[in-house]
Structure 1
Amino acid sequence: MASAAIHIDMPLGVIVRKIPGVTRWAQWNWRAVAVLPGAGPADWVELRREGDAVEYHAATLPLTLWAAEAEAYLANLSDKQPSIYLVLRDEARDGQPLDAVLVTASPYEAQDYADTGEEIVEKIPMTEGLIAWVRDFALEHHRDEHFVKRKRDKARVDRVEDGKGDARIRQPADVYRAPRRAMQ
């Protein structure tokens, strides 16, 4: 199945925990805590409540692995704790506190979303089965790129070109000369 495909998908449920904020500026602190590989559809279903802390099955999103991203997946797997990255937007709609946009195993794609500053990117530890699934796909599709050293052109850069100005501007004389006093 994966050998002929350039990508594969798996539905991935995302568990998000809501706890009271510790500052007066943030009423709630939202944190992604776990993933559920192969989960069914969900839309902010409450799973567990302990005092003020509530865990939700926030969404089930497709985790898509692309053959072209195999190097990124291997970089993720070489980390101390391989992770899934969840991208959330702070756009409350239809009673949802946050909008779950994307899950990815690529740390490079997650960095792109984090750089915009408009999304919240959460790092969630991968399960053992998910690590094996991503590893098998990445090893099957990874291709080493051979380093090609660039060659310098043959232009001589050691020559001195004093007195030459901008070639686009016509100059009657040396543009680097000191200005002279007008003669009367």
Structure 2
Amino acid sequence: MRTAPVSLPLGIVIRRTPSVSRWAKWSWKAVSVLPGAAQADWQVLREEGDAVEYHAATVQLDLWATDTEAYLTGLSSRVPSIGVVLREGTGEHPYDVVLATASPYEFQDYADSGEELVELVPMPEGLVALIRDFVSEHHEEEVFVKRRRDKKRIDLVEDGKGDPRISQLSDVFRTPRRGRLN
């Protein structure tokens, strides 16, 4: 049974810069997170020439006690990061923020689909400390138990004979005769 997660609101900052591609006018990238941020809807934070940074949305970062191994993997990386998943926008904005996660395993699942824009954003030091404290409180090391094989002989199976519970007089893969199924 999974217990309720620890949740933290996390603001997602997205930067828009002019694209170097002739097929796209703008390049969009998640660049930082704001722990404890209030709700926002593409609020402009900073403008420098053509580059604009937006507080695009605030999503919940959920930490589950059963996922502490994944959080440890993320914290042990060279740069601990939050995975931000963006999906093509359905409204007036170019992207919708789908998810922010501290689990590199969950992030990889979204990266494998290829349907979303996925970015790794460095964690602020305070967020690293929060996740590290959460892991130290909830992590339970799993004892490795080697699986033993059962004593059943699997080399006695005769492939091509079909299901042994059904009596067959001939090949089970035969072509049915005209007018009869068997």
Same fold (TM over 0.5): yes
**SS of equivalent to 2:42:** strand
Q: Which residue of 2 aligns with 1:70?
A: 68
The total of aligned residue pairs comes to: 167
Aligned residue in 1 for 2:57: 59
Instruction: Say whether residues 1:129 and 2:126 are aligned partners.
Output: yes
SS at match of 1:43: coil
Q: How much has 1:155 moved relative to structure 2?
A: 3.0
How many percent identity over aligned positions?
A: 57
- 1:22 aligned residue (20, 23, 26): 20
Flag the 1:41–1:166 CA change in 2: closer, same or farther, 3 A. same
Pair member with larger Rg: 1
The amino acid of 1:149's aligned partner reads: K
CA offset at residue 79 of structure 1? 0.5
**Structure 1: runs of 5+ lacking an equivalent:** 174-184
**Counterpart residue type for residue 123 of structure 1:** L
Report how far residue 121 of structure 1 moved: 1.1
- Identify if the C-alpha distance between structure 1 residues 152 and 8 changes in structure 2 by more than 3 Å, giving closer, same or farther: same
2:115 corresponds to: 118
SS of residue paired to 1:75 = helix
1:45 to 1:154, Cα distance in 2 relative to 1, 3 A: same
Segments of structure 2 that go 5 or more residues without pairing to the other structure are: 172-182
Q: Distance in 2 between matches of 1:147 and 1:171?
A: 48
Over the residues paired in the alignment, what is the CA RMSD in angstroms?
Answer: 2.2
The Cα of 1:170 is off from its aligned counterpart by 3.2
Change (3 A) 1:38 1:153: same
Quick one: which amino acid aligns to residue 122 of structure 2? Answer: P
Could you say which residue in structure 2 is the equivalent of 1:109? 106
Partner AA of 2:151 in structure 1: K
TM-score (norm 2): 0.83
The normalised TM-score by structure 1 is 0.82
Opposite residue 58 of structure 1, the aligned amino acid is A
